[in-house]
Amino acid sequence: MDAHYAAMFSLTLIHLLLHISALDFLSPGSSLSVEHSSDVLYSPDGSFTCGFYHISPNSSIFSVWFSHSVEKTVVWSANLDRPVYTWGSKLKLNIDGNMVLQDYSGQIVWTNNVSSSNVQEARLLESGNLIVKGQGDIILWQSFASPSDTLLPNQIINGTIKLVSSTSSNRLVVPGHYSFHFDDQHLLTLFDDEKDVSFIYWPNPFINIWAKQRIPFNTTMTGVLDSLGHFLGSDNASFMAADWGPEITRRLTLDYDGNLRLYSLNKNGTWLVTWMAFTQLCFVRGLCGINGVCMYTPKPACACAPGHEIIDPSDWSKGCKPKFRITCDGMRFLKLPTTEFLGYDQGTYKQVSLSDCKNICMSDCSCKGFSYWRGKGDCYPKSSLVGGVTVQTLPGSTYLKLPEALQVPESSIPSSQPSGHQYGLNCSAENQYFIAKFSDISSGQSESRFLYFYGFLSAIFLVEVIFVVLGCWFILRMEGRQLTGVRPAEAGYDMITNHFRRYTYNELHRATRKFKDELGRGASGVVYKGILKDKREVAVKKLAGIEQCEEEFQHELSVISKIYHMNLVRVWGFCSDGSHRMLVSEYVENGSLDKILFRSEESQILLGWKDRFKVALGVAKGLAYLHHECLEWVIHCDVKPENILLDENLEPKITDFGLAKLLNRGGNNKNVSRIHGTRGYIAPEWVSSLPITAKVDVYSFGVVLLELLKGSRVSEWAKIEDEEDEVEKVLQRAVRMLAVNVKLQEGREQSWIIDFIDCRLNGRFSYLQARTMIKLAISCIEEDRGKRPTMENVAQMLLSVDEESIVA
């Protein structure tokens, strides 16, 4: 009797022990049931719980959450997109280690795909990592390898790991369209995954890699938030919690609004934001969808562009649809002050008047409106209105194309209130102006607390934010044209600014038909013609004498890849395959300027005056872009007719820029020794030991100007004069003579100009333009580089005489 009782007791005890211990780990063959609230696993210190989380009375997801936050904050879940029924569902650990989540009907909703013969248990670690462990502490599976929208301290993000936002503020519905992972330049990046295309929106895609302070192409690809609150990635992505320090519970979450935020847990169980990727939420891409405008009320909010209505009030990212039909006639423009739409530019027009810009957009039926920058006269007609934002600091305005008949009230024009009273929206007014607030943004309260902490951050960071906000728009303009016609690239996404990609040797071998069709050769390598699989004609340059290591090479490429201007040859990609280093760029029909300009009798094309002027202006614009407008600060260092290509309209495109010739803005001249200019075009400071600046290109441009005017090479002049003199001396003499003539003959009959200009033109040129070009050439070839103009000055001078009327 006693023995029986003792046996009963010990059985009960064992059962009890088993039951208690089931809270610490799950052994093979056992399961957690959705009905029993005690069926959960705790981490050893109790800060995390794993079990079924009820997202509604009838549906649950299998998750890990913080035990001590007021509302259960889920950090990981197995079946976000496929909740299970709150009765009859269970999670089972099979004896082979396979963890299976079954719905009430027995249907398998999720499994971790483990199959092992030595499974020990499933356990929730102190870090919040749910693992399936084998004998000898082998980890067979871990939740840290497949995060949802949150990274915990010491959880590594690597090349295969991806955070995906959820769509709703309770963070527990379907996966959203924002993601956080490494991009194909190996940079940690925030993506807005739209239908067929992914857009990068952080780090700011419109600034260069140095402004981003990132290091591309580090193949290590890791990133981790340490226990003190500092995040560091292998790409130098780095940020720090405002309350940096030990013993604080933190999480890094990609919120449903697309912002990446770092949170700390308060003692009372609420969350505090201690860092976020965007302090200006409106700059998160895709927040308000197509035809939507993000604005500050002063809280961020979405509104439809006037004349549009919301498609789905519960999901702003779907945007707004027009309440009218765009027709070709009977349209007018409505001004939306300090408003911009991101991308989808149909073209870029510089220094045009507002009425010209209106005409451009009006004459194109597909144009939905345009952005116009008053001071600069920049005009950007849009094929689609996406990523709208209204901020009073924006320098441009958008003009929306609307039917003349459609009346829209003044109050439907979005405008931001930087501070002060809330936006005076009138909800009872008709649906002209649907406005959604992000008031339910996770931890709305924390937002203001963050700003408080934010005050302690360095001033540099503040400056950076302002720069991003203001600078972004300007740079965007430069890249604008690429925004049209984006299509998914190999990597499964496309970046707004970047069609740049890597090609394999085999691909290029095939494209060039075994490097058969040689287009030309120069000091930097041989160029072959090729046709890519997508039928694009390209020029493939086999680079010679590239001694850099792979990473250095790719770093320089990442700079080149961002350079885009109509007067610069577009570089499409590269190949770095074993010892092969190649550049793939657009194919330019008419070859290089020297072939057309200098070829004497047998030349079929005689470059007329108009085209010569066009070449001068285009090259000046291209160089000005390299020197001033693109933040990469590139000095070409080898400007000469061989490096100026002409397209089918004889529009010039500069080639060979930026390769191993990148000089820092700060005047770091380490690389100069690697640069080799070409005799006849190189500035005097090459020979002396003065530092190389953008003014060397100005000098070379001056020489090219003279050659355009004269139609022959400067080096030929030396031969004509039948002297043994050096090219430089002959050039200086010619320039001095021209300078004297210009001075002497000010305002008088200028027959000397006719004598100087290429006789093949038979006097068909514009005196005004020729005179301006000569004057410019003289100042560009100044020996004292301080006296040379900048390329921007040069371009402006040429523009000022760019009228159509040419003396016949």
Neighbours of 420 (CB within 10 A): 6
Q: How far apart are CA 432 and CA 350, in angstroms?
A: 34
Q: Minimum CB separation from ligand NAG for residue 432, in Å?
A: 9
Beta strands in 652-699 (DSSP E): 652-654
**Nearest Cα residue to 345 out of 519, 472, 466, 477:** 477
Please return the burial class of 33, using the count of CB atoms within 10 Å of its CB with bins 0-12, 13-18 and 19+. middle
CA 6 to chain CA mean position, Å: 73
Strand partners, 400: 334, 369
CA 709 to chain CA mean position, Å: 41
Judged by beta carbon, residue 203 or residue 387, the one nearer ligand NAG is 203
Query: Contact at 8 Å (CB) between 324 and 307?
Result: yes
Query: Contact at 8 Å (CB) between 92 and 100?
Result: yes
Q: How far apart are CA 352 and CA 370, in angstroms?
A: 13
Q: Minimum CB separation from ligand NAG for residue 85, in Å?
A: 8
Q: Minimum CB separation from ligand NAG for residue 283, in Å?
A: 20
Q: Any residues with CB less than 8 A from the CB of 305 and at least 6 apart, and which?
A: 291, 292, 293, 320, 336, 385, 388, 400, 414
**Nearest Cα residue to 152 out of 240, 76, 60:** 76
Its sign, for the CA torsion 424, 426, 430, 435, is positive
Query: Contact at 8 Å (CB) between 626 and 635?
Result: yes
Judged by beta carbon, residue 57 or residue 455, the one nearer ligand NAG is 57
Q: Which residue is nearest to ligand NAG (CB)?
A: 234
| Binding positions for ATP | 542
Its sign, for the CA torsion 34, 35, 37, 38, is negative
Q: How far apart are CA 31 and CA 35, in angstroms?
A: 12
Q: Before 313, cis peptide (omega within 30)? A: no
Q: Please tell me what DSSP assigns to residue 498.
A: B
Query: Contact at 8 Å (CB) between 768 and 666?
Result: no
Q: Minimum CB separation from ligand NAG for residue 238, in Å?
A: 4
Q: Minimum CB separation from ligand NAG for residue 234, in Å?
A: 3
Question: Does 638 qualify as catalytic in the annotation?
Answer: yes
| 59: its two tokens | 């549906």
Task: Indicate which residue of 638, 656, 697, 758 is catalytic.
Answer: 638
Q: How far apart are CA 111 and CA 109, in angstroms?
A: 7
Q: Minimum CB separation from ligand NAG for residue 467, in Å?
A: 15
Neighbours of 3 (CB within 10 A): 7
Judged by beta carbon, residue 411 or residue 732, the one nearer ligand NAG is 411
Q: Minimum CB separation from ligand NAG for residue 737, in Å?
A: 50
Judged by beta carbon, residue 129 or residue 693, the one nearer ligand NAG is 129
Judged by beta carbon, residue 365 or residue 466, the one nearer ligand NAG is 466
The backbone torsions φ and ψ at residue 371, rounded to the nearest 5 degrees and listed phi first, read: -100, 140
Per DSSP, the three-state class of 696 is helix
The backbone torsions φ and ψ at residue 729, rounded to the nearest 5 degrees and listed phi first, read: -65, -45
Its sign, for the CA torsion 662, 666, 671, 673, is positive
Q: How many CA atoms lie within 13 A of 551 on its CB side?
A: 8
Please return the burial class of 606, using the count of CB atoms within 10 Å of its CB with bins 0-12, 13-18 and 19+. middle
Q: Minimum CB separation from ligand NAG for residue 21, in Å?
A: 26
| 739: its two tokens | 């300078």
Judged by beta carbon, residue 58 or residue 353, the one nearer ligand NAG is 58
Judged by beta carbon, residue 186 or residue 401, the one nearer ligand NAG is 186
Q: Minimum CB separation from ligand NAG for residue 633, in Å?
A: 15
Judged by beta carbon, residue 317 or residue 432, the one nearer ligand NAG is 432
Beta strands in 684-734 (DSSP E): none
Helix, strand, coil percentages for the chain (3-state, nearest 5):
25, 25, 45
| Binding positions | 542
**Nearest Cα residue to 697 out of 628, 774, 648:** 628
Letter for the amino acid at 640? K
| 591: its two tokens | 């070859």
Judged by beta carbon, residue 214 or residue 382, the one nearer ligand NAG is 214
Q: Minimum CB separation from ligand NAG for residue 68, in Å?
A: 12
Judged by beta carbon, residue 240 or residue 526, the one nearer ligand NAG is 240
Query: Contact at 8 Å (CB) between 531 and 538?
Result: yes
> C-alpha distances in angstroms, 281 versus 256, 389, 397?
12, 10, 20
- For the chain, helix (H) and strand (E) counts, in that order, are 15, 44
CB under 8 A, 24+ apart: contacts of 38-41: 41/122, 41/123, 41/124, 41/130
Judged by beta carbon, residue 48 or residue 76, the one nearer ligand NAG is 76
Q: Minimum CB separation from ligand NAG for residue 134, in Å?
A: 14
Judged by beta carbon, residue 31 or residue 111, the one nearer ligand NAG is 111
Q: Minimum CB separation from ligand NAG for residue 688, in Å?
A: 32
Per DSSP, the three-state class of 650 is coil
Beta-strand pair 130-134/119-124? antiparallel
Name the site residues for ligand NAG (rule: CB under 6 A). 57-58, 111-113, 144-146, 156, 158-161, 213, 215, 218, 220, 222, 234, 236, 238, 266-268, 270, 426, 428-429, 551
Letter for the amino acid at 11? L
The residues assigned a catalytic role are: 638
